[in-house]
Amino acid sequence: MTENVLDVAAEEGRVGNAVETATASSIRADIWLRIGMVVVVCGIFIWLNWRVIEFVQEALRLDIARMNATPPLPPEHRLVTSQVVMALIGATVVQTGIGFIAITSYLFPRRGG
């Protein structure tokens, strides 16, 4: 009878250690997945904004070339107007906010309860 109690106690100890090890591994994996998520989202964000900047630079180059052409381009036919610049600034601000909200809500999820 005493051997059975000792065997059960030893088995409970092994199971408890396995659960603690699995929990620690799960936490480590979750941390690395969260870091990976941040890196991926930030990389996409940086790449997309870089493409927008390149697009605006090319549009400005074309605009300048058209203005320097003979006959010169009238101002109302420009490609990049103040409305275009404001739209790009506004879209970038919104995109940044949504990106940070997505990252923050993933890194710090709401507790159920």
3-state SS, residue 57: helix
Backbone phi, then psi, for 17, in 5-degree steps?
A: -65, -40
Q: Is the pTM of this model over 0.85?
A: no
Domain map (residue ranges) of the chain: 2-107
Longest Cα–Cα distance in the chain: 105
CB-CB contact of 38 with 107 (8 Å): yes
Q: How far apart are CA 70 and CA 68, in angstroms?
A: 7
pLDDT digits (tens, 9 = 90+) for 20-61: 777 888 888 888 888 888 888 888 888 888 888 888 888 888
Distance between CA atoms of 46 and 51, rounded to whole angstroms? 9
Q: What is the pLDDT of residues 81-112, one digit of tens each?
A: 888 878 888 888 888 888 888 877 877 777 76
Q: DSSP of 22-52, one letter per residue?
A: HHHHHHHHHHHHHHHHHHHHHHHHHHHHHHH
